[in-house]
Amino acid sequence: MKIDKSLLTEPALTQLPEKVLQFGTGVLLRGLCDYFIDKANKEGIFNGRIVVVKSTDSGGADTFAEQDNLYTICVRGIDKGAPKEENIISSAISRVLSAQSQWSDILATAKDPAIEIVISNTTEVGLQYVEESILQTPPASFPAKLTAWLYERFQAGLPGAVIVPTELIVGNGDKLKEIVLQLCAFNQLPEDFIEWLNTENRFCNSLVDRIVPGKPKGEKLKELFDKLGYEDDLLTIAEVYRLWAIEGDDKVKDVLSFYEADPGVKIEKNIEQYRELKLRMLNGTHTLMCGMAYLSGFETVKEALADELMEKFITILMTTEIVPAIPYKIEPKVCQRYGREVLDRFRNPYLEHQWISITLQYTMKMRMRNIPLLLNYYKEFNTIPQYFARGFAAYLLFMKAIKEENGKYYGQKDGELYLIQCDSAAYFYKLWQKNATEQLVNKVLSNKALWGSDLTKLRGFAENVTTHLSNMQMIGVKEVVSALNVYA
């Protein structure tokens, strides 16, 4: 049988009023943000549900409808040294609306005074300024959709909202507000609306930290369904660890009252420490390792951590090159504790966190998460970060597409093709076709449009990356990792 309302222990939760508008249907939102709201509802704290906006019509919304907008969060991991398994049927979502075919319904939610919260996760690519009319049905970009929704709310004479983007961009709330104001100027929206935007709305910087790899496959999924007693096309696995840090004051706390249900939601005046730890030590390590681990033959994060050589590489990369280069003053003990937590999370035996999935938008992640570390490492030590250089070389090799088909680019590993899901795939495809290794490395590193800096100016870095990349092509990626033992 499929998941339905008869499985709920508290059916009344499906009748709670709508209080949140959410842009995005992804597993991170469902496994973290919506998890907190569902938990608060079950404790009688928040008492509100979520209207979800899906940006395309390419499936997905029907699945929610077929399951009465219910889905299962399977929490799996180590909690205080002991294994933990928990299966939660979330009833936090009230409905899923398609922006393409139900835009008028989405705009209508702006006139509901109960909806005071907007959250989003549209990946790092989603928070970019696109010069467009907000009167389109719908506008193309997420910021333009949000601007249209806020303008509709303003015209309805309602108070503003608390807006919490969760995209992994430094100052994501500030960035989103900046883009919205740019769109106001382009669309020549009235001054009183702009004043309302600035005074009535709170754009909160936030960060999210939970590994949510999604639905398992094959036999493992069947075993889960058998154990649950039903099938769930929206089921997602999530680790025990959870953090949603939000920058805000008492007014924000009043609106986001769900924070009271779980210590994983932290609303504070400054969240910089949480952001730097997560962005650099967890995300940064992931980004530097995903190409290397995948090309070394490891499919999942836990497989790599089970390998003594890879575990050693990852540990030394994190503790000796990433931590000292974090561009924010954090107590060493805090970094050490967080580092241990990250490694334990990577080892989580319950999670099938695919390295290939971490390569999504590889170039943008490298720029946002790791290049500031590289620049700061040189500023502090003026020498080559050896582990970082190998991770960067593996990134370049992963981006070597050997085939283009219908606008999609494919690399090759052990004779099998893999899809390169990165906006820079076409750029690298052309570079690899026309350049030898040394030329390619120098052209990539000197590309200020990619990195914001000319990385060939960093003493010895280009030569080091070239050597590792050449060796990876000749003897293999894992073999290059093995050769680093001398530095350990």
**Element of type H or E holding 306:** helix 301-306
Please report the pLDDT score of residue 487 as a whole number: 43
Please report the pLDDT score of residue 488 as a whole number: 38
Q: How many residues does the chain have?
A: 488
pTM for the model stands at 0.75
DSSP string, 239-277: -S--EEEEE--HHHHHHTGGGGG-TTEEEES--HHHHHI
Give CA separation, 52 vs 161, 182, 253, 482, in Å: 16, 25, 22, 47
Please report the pLDDT score of residue 486 as a whole number: 46
Please report the pLDDT score of residue 60 as a whole number: 60
Distance of alpha carbon 64 from its chain centroid, rounded?
Answer: 22
And the tokens for 87?
């299966």
**Element of type H or E holding 97:** strand 93-98
Please report the pLDDT score of residue 485 as a whole number: 54
Please report the pLDDT score of residue 254 as a whole number: 98
Please report the pLDDT score of residue 176 as a whole number: 97
Please report the pLDDT score of residue 214 as a whole number: 80
Q: What is the mean pLDDT of each run of 10 residues along the chain (488 residues)?
A: 78 94 96 98 97 78 90 89 89 96 97 98 85 96 97 98 93 97 98 98 95 87 94 94 96 98 96 90 96 97 94 95 93 90 87 91 96 97 96 98 96 96 97 97 98 97 97 95 63
Q: Please state whether beta strands 403-405 and 243-247 pair in parallel, antiparallel, or not at all (unpaired).
A: unpaired
And the tokens for 246?
């939000």
Please report the pLDDT score of residue 58 as a whole number: 58
And the tokens for 471?
């060796």
Please report the pLDDT score of residue 1 as a whole number: 63
CB 120 within 8 A of CB 34: no
